[in-house]
Every structure is written in structure tokens, then in C-alpha cells.
Structure 1
């Protein structure tokens, strides 16, 4: 598994928060569902992503207006609220809450009425928006979020996979098993959008992403991610990739931005942090899974990287 695949593995679609909405101007929706990641694409018309007046400046989210034109797709970071509107100046009249519950600005639930009305109207002036939100949990998922801007915008035409067309086609009519199909298509849509955006960033993409195309460093990254618990050393990774120890260490640091053993240690602690949070495995078992000889060595490394012990991390996440 490569580095991007590992990071995306912790991100999953939630079918209850997936929808296709037809909107007549003027329109504006306040998105306040708390999702840490969302995908938005315009099938017809355009949409503006606008910062919310109540946005907490300390929370990730939309901080300046971004226009999504027809045929574009955006990955949007949360959890701060933001507004999706036909124009920057259009005030929000509907609030989208967790699990796609819709209310008026004063809190009246209008979910069924809004969706029924929206599904039945479509005109040449309509905007058709397809959106979905993702559950992002743990330290592995956080590494993906850290690599993304507030809004990652790409042209659908630049995405080589037909996944967005498949999404729209699947939404055309209700069919058995649709939620399961949409979940999988939405996951694929995120993968394709993120790697298309990163691939177009040239020098702006994270070092670990750019390095995956290098025959030496890319192979080393795959080895580390395939088996983070193996007793890797600079010498063993250099041997597996067919270059000298010195050449490997220099090339890895230049492309990734950190020495190979520093990258590996950080990745091991990231994986361990999620195991501490998501399993009841002992510290000794987790230590061996991620490549430490025993619980003592693992605890020392964890505290060095995170400033707290594995026990404190586990207790704080439950």
C-alpha cells in the first residue's frame, strides 16, 4: 500500500449525508454538519463556497469565497460552518445539519418538504449540486487533512476515472442497494479528486506524494507502509531499492523532506496512536505491530513524539 492509500483508508463516506439537490436562484445553504471533509460538485450552473459569519477562526474551514463552476469538483475541509450559495451576497435561508437534517434559520425542521420540493423542480436556471460528507477519524486521517488546503478544486475533466458520471447516473433513480453503491462511488470520487489535485500541484504537493513517483524513494515508501513493523534500517531500505546507503538517505531526504528513519518513526507512531484509540490491544502488542521491541521502547518513542505516554493518549480518547 502506498502513502496516499494508507491515509485515505481512514476516510469513509456516510451515505446518509449524500445528496443531489436542485436549487432555484436565489439560494444559499448554511452547512453546519460538523463534517471534517466534504465533496461538492456542480452538475449544472455554479456555486459559491462562502465563509460563515459565525466561523471560529481557530477551526479549519472555508475562509474566503471560492467559486465552483459547472464541471468542477471541490474537496472542502471542515468542521467550521460555511455557506454554499448562488452568489456571495445571498443570505442563507436553510441550515444543513448532521445527517442531512434541514432546518430554517430559526430551527424549524423542513427536511422532507425541502427534499421533495427540490427533487420535483428543474429549470434552465437551476443549479444542480451533488455533495457528500466523509467521516475522518484518527491520526492517520488527520495526516490527509493536513496535506489538503481549505478547498481543493479540480476540473472533473482532469479526473481520468468516470466515477463522477457514475455517481450522477446512480442518483437518477432509487434502486435496491443504492446506499451501498453510493458509499463506494463516493469513496472513489474522493480518491480520484485528491490524487488529481495533488498531481497538479507540482512543487506544492506534500513531499511524500511527489516522492511516490520516484523509483527509489517511492519503492522505499511502499515498503514502509506495507510493513511498518519490519526492522527497517537505512541500509536495508537502500539494499531493497538498489542504491548505496548514502545515496538513498540523501535522495529520500531531498524528496520527502525528512530523513528516512524520521519519516518511519513518525508513521509508526501515527499508526500506533490509532491502534491505541481504536483497539484494546496491549501496549506490548501494539509495540511489536509497529516495529518496537517492547512496550518500554514504544512508550519512550511515543512520549518523545507526542509529549504524553501511550496510556495517557488512550485514556484521553475514550
Structure 2
């Protein structure tokens, strides 16, 4: 498993919110959907992203891709400073700031929405709506707004998304989910390779001959009863040397990394499979359902059963 494979295997949209937004200035849309991640691609005109926690507005032009990390709110607009004309809430609900519904009055066709059918700006929007569709560790590695300019990458998936987003063929939602996943993976792979990306410790550590091997062992064999000593033996170094080097490069101890990795795997399997909590617990390295439930509640604030049912997590820390 390479530096990104374990994390990029995590993005799996399930009925993602996808939309082609067609607008004519002046326009401004406030996003308060609390979604963990949103991708935006401009195919015509331009758009500004004004994030509540980001110091500067971000301009997105044709061919660019922007990735916005939630759950904080942000505004997409033709010009920073304008008053929002629409408010997008959880699940893609849309209304004016006074609460008047807009979903039907601004509907322009299948997954197409805006204030003018021939508007000068078109933005493709793909939103992961639930926590767990993208791994927590991957989200924590991203800035609030990430922009890849058109000249920084060459991705054939943008035309595919543009063509598929307004189609209504059988199974179309599944096709769009997978295209969105591939587009996210392609964008993140490009971004992490950039020298200015400030890649997180776990990414840089994968290139270390000792720590990289340790990370791959933990990711590939999460159910193994690892200790620092046994991990060090497999890597051919002393326990103290591994602990010191791992913590310095990754930013946490081997066992802390393993605990978070196990919980992330468990969270994904709770949502993606019908396996029992007991079975999942043993698959990822816990002694049983009680041990997994205790760890899950301590870190995520909810039980495994509540996570499976889609209840929001109460905390965001790892």
C-alpha cells in the first residue's frame, strides 16, 4: 500500500449531491449544508469561494477545481461581498434568506439549477454529504479551501462529469458517485505531489525506509496484535528507535496511529457492510464489540450502531 492508497480507498460517495449551477451576475449562494467535503469545477465564466474560516476569497476559473472542507459555511458568488440570493442547507435544500423555497423556481433541468438557462457562469458541484464517506485523517490533512488551477493538472474526468451530471439514465446516481470519487482522488493525488501542498507527516513519512514500512504494516494488517516491539522487530530496528523516529515524522506514536486507523476502518465497514459489530471489531483488531464500542464512543462521541444509522458525530478530533 503506497502513501495514499489506504486513505484514497476511503472516499465512497453514496447518493452524493451533484448539480450543475448556471448563473448570470449578480449572483451569490450561501452554503450551510455542514457537508464534510465539496468539489467545484467551473466550466464557464468564473466563481469566487468565500469561506468563513479562510482569510482570502478564492477565484475559480474554467478548468480549475476547488475542494472545500466542511462543516464550516462558505459562499459561492460572482463577486466577493455580495448579499446571498440563495441558501443551501443540509441535503441540498434551497431557499431564500427569508426561508422561501427555491428548488423548483430555479430548476433548469435534470441536476441543473440556476437563475438563467444561458447564464455566463457554470459550476459543477459534487458534495459528499455524510461523515465517513471520506476518511477523517484525509480531511484533517486538507486546507479549508484547496484550489488546483487548470494548468497544474490534466484530468480527463472533468468532461466526463460535465456530460454525465445532467443525464437521467438507469443507475445514473451510481455512475456519478464513482466519477466524483475518481475526480477527488485524481485531484488529491495531484495536490499532494505539489511542493507547496504542505503534505502531512504521514504522507512524507511513507518515503522513509523504516517508518514507511511500519505504516504499511499497520495499514495492511490492522487486526494483528501489534506492539511497538513487534512492529520494530518487523522493521529491523530497536523499539526505542522506531518509537522516536515514527513520532518525529508522523506526529504521533505508532499505537496512536494504529488506534485511529482501526476506528476509521471500523467506521467505513459499519456503513458499507451488514457485518455485526462483533465481527467488524475483530476484523480491525479489537477483542470484541464492547472494546470497539468503548473506543468509538470515547473518540467519536457516538456508538457504532448510531454511526451505522447515520447519526452525526459529536466530536471531530481523532
- Pairwise TM-score range, normalised by the shorter structure: 0.7 to 0.9
Aligned to 2:23: 23
Aligned to 1:57: none
| TM-score, length basis structure 1 | 0.76
Match of 1:261 among 252, 255, 267: 255
How far apart are the structure 1 equivalents of 2:138 and 2:215? 16
Q: CA deviation at 1:133?
A: 0.5
Match of 1:244 among 237, 260, 284: 237
Contact persistence 2:12–2:134 (CA under 8 A): no
Deviations 1:189-232 (A, max 9, x none): 11222232222255722111122234443333222112201133
Go from structure 1 to structure 2 and tell me whether the alpha carbon gap of 1:300 and 1:87 turns closer, same or farther (over 3 Å shift). Answer: closer
Aligned to 1:178: 172
Deviations 1:119-148 (A, max 9, x none): 97336xx11111110034249733222222
- SS in structure 1 at match of 2:25: coil
Aligned to 2:13: 13
| TM-score, length basis structure 2 | 0.76
More deviation in 209-218 or 245-254? Answer: 245-254
Contact persistence 1:211–1:256 (CA under 8 A): yes
Aligned to 1:43: 43
Go from structure 1 to structure 2 and tell me whether the alpha carbon gap of 1:167 and 1:138 turns closer, same or farther (over 3 Å shift). Answer: closer
Q: CA deviation at 1:91?
A: 1.4
Alignment partner of 1:97 is 2:89: yes
Aligned to 2:69: 77
Alignment partner of 1:122 is 2:118: yes
Gaps (5+ residues) in structure 2? 312-318
Q: Pick the structure with greater CA Rg.
A: 1
Aligned to 2:315: none
Matches within 5 A, 1:129-144: 129-138=123-132, 141-144=135-138
Match of 1:227 among 208, 211, 221: 221
Q: Tell me which protein shows more helix as a share of its residues.
A: 1
Go from structure 1 to structure 2 and tell me whether the alpha carbon gap of 1:251 and 1:80 turns closer, same or farther (over 3 Å shift). Answer: closer
- SS in structure 2 at match of 1:205: coil
Contact persistence 1:48–1:86 (CA under 8 A): yes
How far apart are the structure 2 equivalents of 1:167 and 1:314? 34
Contact persistence 1:234–1:245 (CA under 8 A): no
How far apart are the structure 2 equivalents of 1:307 and 1:127? 43
Aligned to 1:159: 153
- SS in structure 2 at match of 1:253: helix
Q: CA deviation at 1:187?
A: 0.9
Gaps (5+ residues) in structure 1? 53-60
Contact persistence 2:286–2:292 (CA under 8 A): no
How far apart are the structure 2 equivalents of 1:290 and 1:31? 36
Go from structure 1 to structure 2 and tell me whether the alpha carbon gap of 1:281 and 1:3 turns closer, same or farther (over 3 Å shift). Answer: farther
How far apart are the structure 2 equivalents of 1:295 and 1:36? 27
Number of paired residues?
Answer: 302
How far apart are the structure 1 equivalents of 2:220 and 2:129? 24
